[in-house]
Chains A and B, each alone.
Chain A
């Protein structure tokens, strides 16, 4: 892999991606809904690919393959439980979509603020999301830096890689807001699924086929095919990892905001099923990469070298290796630009507009556009500084964001939920998770990943029962859901008759 081949490949990728981003524009977006939600008119196919690209960060190809290399088949179980958790979209998706359409919500935190009739709830959710997701983005950026530096033997420095990914993410966000992000996400998702599947196929063929690969694992690394396996996936660790990720589709605002965007429930269905098919293939490919690296290179110094070693091996043609490497960089960018846009919309809509009431939609959009690069530069600075605190916040992100889950479930299923309960749950659980990670992440032998959802639920239910709900906002919220979801599509014959009558 020569340096010039890598730079030329990056240039070609950028040319195609920028072309797609520019073509995605539909005139200037003057509204928050237009810029951050694509005017709630996104089709199912692009939504599915973009949801996949946003969800599956650079972690999959590097982290999951490494996790499989180190811990064996438990890594597949971890991903499958996360994957099954996305089924929450099948029951919460229509409700999000219905209230979003009825009340014009732009962010999940705005929705919670409205449901509990409290701007403090909206602000708390927004600030907690920033605390956990900006460091998470920083670690993504650092991953790109290390990947480019490692694969080019230092020809592309860590800083060059990090700055490159940040600039691309800002650029994709700016061209047309969420529309350009979703279309460039789609390019990344297609490129990645094709290239990574091809790599898996070539490597497994090189190792003698699927049967030979698993025979090697069964004879030389039998523990890798069971749990707890080599010891990484004890049942408690498995619980601690999977519980927060099971709720990912609700707890992470950059994906729950996507539930406002489809043009119809039909599009939402296509988004969900498309994501599940994509995610299943991607998961199996990543796990097979990890297993292949274990069979071919059993004595690597560190597990996260599994993917770079595989890509640089004789099994993978250099051009394909470069395509996958750029795909991994693009995977990080596609996650970061979505997080940036979501956090910018939350800061503008739920913090700025609540601190300064009666501010115009145009002004909110201006603030949102200003916040995008500010968030990006914060992530860039954190990635460069490599502070221990940032690493802790990033690892705590999945557990910390679980703080929103009871308030979200209560918003749709428990009329007795109150703003005080939601606020106590979000603030209390976020603080509790941070404290646990700062003090060794173990309480009575269980990690924050297990305790987070318990503490959040106890706080939400306990404080709600001790306070009074706001009846009017609760009733309006539930009425909107039942009205919107009660609309049935008329049979085709009825529609034709109605059109004929209208033309008379």
Chain B
């Protein structure tokens, strides 16, 4: 089972400085970055699922 995480990082650089640069409300950059954080957690849960299958 990472490029999706790097895509979220890239969007975290681009979107707040372009599309959201004029949105001075809580659902602007604040919400965008908060959702980005939650997406990163979800992707890590998915990507590391096969750590469970490894034998010691």
CB distance from A411 to the nearest CB of B (A): 18
- Are B53 and A489 within 8 A (Cβ)? yes
A296 at the interface (CB under 8 A from B): no
- Which of B12, B44, B45, B47 makes the CB contact (< 8 A) with A77? B12
What residues make up the interface of A, taking CB atoms closer than 8 Å to B? 73-74, 76-77, 80-81, 83-85, 87, 90-91, 94, 210, 214, 217-218, 222-223, 225-228, 235, 238-239, 242, 246, 263-266, 268-269, 272-273, 276-277, 280, 283-284, 485, 487-490
Q: What is the bound-complex CA distance between A264 and B54, given in angstroms?
A: 8
Total A-B pairs, Cβ < 8 A: 126
What residues make up the interface of B, taking CB atoms closer than 8 Å to A? 2, 5, 8-9, 12-13, 16-17, 20-26, 28-30, 33-34, 36-38, 40-41, 43-45, 47-48, 51-56
* Known contacts A83-B37, A90-B2; is-contact A225 B51 (Cβ 8 Å): no
* Known contacts A81-B12, A246-B9; is-contact A273 B40 (Cβ 8 Å): no
- Are B40 and A83 within 8 A (Cβ)? yes
- Are A227 and B51 within 8 A (Cβ)? no
Q: What is the bound-complex CA distance between A214 and B29, given in angstroms?
A: 13
Taking CB as reference atom, which chain A residue is nearest B14? Answer: A235
- Are B40 and A87 within 8 A (Cβ)? yes
- Are A235 and B17 within 8 A (Cβ)? yes
Query: Can you list 9 contacts pairing A with B, beta carbon distance less than 8 Å?
Result: A73-B29, A87-B40, A214-B26, A222-B24, A226-B16, A226-B24, A269-B52, A273-B45, A487-B55
CB distance from A492 to the nearest CB of B (A): 12
Q: What is the bound-complex CA distance between A81 and B29, given in angstroms?
A: 13
- Which of A76, A239, A263, A266 makes the CB contact (< 8 A) with B34? A76
- Are A225 and B41 within 8 A (Cβ)? no
* Known contacts A90-B2, A214-B26; is-contact A73 B44 (Cβ 8 Å): no
- Are B29 and A277 within 8 A (Cβ)? no
Q: What is the bound-complex CA distance between A190 and B26, given in angstroms?
A: 28
- Which of B12, B20, B44, B54 makes the CB contact (< 8 A) with A87? B44
- Among A87, A210, A225, max chain B CB count under 10 A is at A87
- Among A84, A228, A265, A280, max chain B CB count under 10 A is at A84
Which of chain A's residues have a CB closer than 8 A to the CB of B30? 73, 76, 214, 225
- Which of B12, B29, B37, B48 makes the CB contact (< 8 A) with A225? B29
- Are A84 and B38 within 8 A (Cβ)? no
Taking CB as reference atom, which chain B residue is nearest A284? Answer: B34
- Are A276 and B54 within 8 A (Cβ)? no
CB distance from A490 to the nearest CB of B (A): 7
Q: What is the bound-complex CA distance between A235 and B56, given in angstroms?
A: 45
- Are B37 and A87 within 8 A (Cβ)? no
CB distance from A185 to the nearest CB of B (A): 21
* Known contacts A77-B29, A269-B51; is-contact A223 B56 (Cβ 8 Å): no
